[in-house]
Structures are given as C-alpha cells and as structure tokens.
Amino acid sequence: MEDFYKQKIMYPNMTKFLPFYFDKHSFFQNDKSFMIVGEHIAYLTAFLNSSLFKFCFADNFPELQGGTRELRKIFFDKISVLQIGNSTDNIFREKIIQMQELKTE
C-alpha cells in the first residue's frame, strides 16, 4: 500500500499506444493497471514514452485482439535501461512534468 504514496510510473495492462504516466500526486490505481516504483523513474518514464522504445520493444509485448498489447512485468524484466545519476533524472523530471501539465490544459 505504501508504494501508492511514492512517485511512480503508471501504465495500463492492455493498450494500443504504450502510454506511461509519471505520478507525483500519489494517485491510486485499479486492477487494470500497473505501476513501477524505484529510483530515476522520471528518466524511465521518458524512455518508455519515446518513439525509440516503441520501435525497438513493442514486439516484446504480446499482441491481443484489435492491435492492443499486453504490458506485464515479465516482459519489462527483459529490457535493459541505461543507468543514470540524479542530476540527469532531475532534468527529465522537469520535462516530464511540463509535458504532462501541457497535455492536461
């Protein structure tokens, strides 16, 4: 339960578009979505939302009816991500928050 109060990445279990949301507001989720908690998640959010990620890794997730993909933890575990420091993550955090705020206006 305490993970809900941490900064996290939220994403649906099935989707066509591979959207990942950086949550700094401690939102709760239902059973149709997942979350990722840990260090440097702003950078990870930017990476997961990138065209490069979609191009390289979309086929790692099983395709379901209607062109949707199933995003489960077991498929993420096989993807390597560049290790970064706090200063780099802070830059991505500012940009991710700015982009998400622009989308909600």
pTM to 2 decimals? 0.88
pLDDT at 4 (0 to 100): 84
Residue closest to 81 by CA, chosen among 36, 24, 43: 43
Taking the C-alpha atoms of residue 23 and residue 35, their distance in angstroms, rounded to an integer, is: 9
Domain count for the chain = 1
Per-residue tens of pLDDT for the chain, all 105 residues:
788 888 999 999 999 999 999 999 999 999 999 999 999 999 999 999 999 999 999 999 999 999 999 998 899 988 999 999 999 999 999 999 999 999 887
Instruction: Count Cβ atoms within 10 A of the Cβ of residue 14 and give its class: 0-12 exposed, 13-18 middle, 19 or more buried.
Output: middle
Q: What is the pLDDT of residue 19?
A: 95
CB-facing half-sphere around the CA of 28: CA atoms within 13 A = 3
Could you write out the DSSP letters of every residue in the chain? -GGGGS-EEEEESEESS---EEE-S-----TTEEEE-SSSHHHHHHHHTSHHHHHHHGGGSPB-GGG-EE--HHHHTT-------HHHHHHHHHHHHHHHHHHH-
Which pLDDT value is given to residue 93?
A: 95
pLDDT at 40: 95
Contact between 103 and 95 (Cβ < 8 Å) = no
Q: State residue 55's pLDDT score.
A: 96
User: 9 lies in which domain range?
Assistant: 2-104
